[in-house]
């Protein structure tokens, strides 16, 4: 989860300017918490993750593999 979090932050950082860095950090942190929710609550976490799927497909893939 940490690697996915860092990778996504890096990708967004390259495309975004310094002005958007704070927003990027906030979104990445939110996605990270979502991944933790998946690990902790399973099915309920998957539903929550589905709401953020458009923001972070990599996190979903990693979480799905971890669950299965």
Q: What is the reported pLDDT for 5? A: 56
Whether the CA torsion 39, 61, 6, 47 is positive or negative: it is negative
Stated pTM of the model: 0.28
DSSP 38: H
**What pLDDT is recorded for position 62?**
52
Burial of 46 (0-12, 13-18, 19+ CB in 10 A): middle
Per-residue pLDDT of the chain (68 residues; tens, 9 = 90+): 555 555 555 555 544 455 455 556 666 777 777 767 666 665 555 555 566 654 555 554 555 555 54
Q: Do residues 1 and 38 make contact, with C-beta atoms less than 8 angstroms apart?
A: no
pLDDT of residue 29: 72
How many domains are contained in the chain?
1
């Amino acid at each position: 989860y940490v690697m996915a979090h860092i990778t996504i932050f890096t990708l967004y950082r390259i495309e975004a300017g310094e002005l958007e860095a704070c927003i990027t950090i906030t979104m990445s942190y939110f996605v990270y918490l979502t991944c933790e929710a998946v690990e902790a609550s399973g099915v309920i976490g998957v539903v929550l993750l589905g709401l953020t799927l458009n923001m972070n497909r990599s996190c979903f893939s990693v979480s799905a593999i971890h669950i299965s």
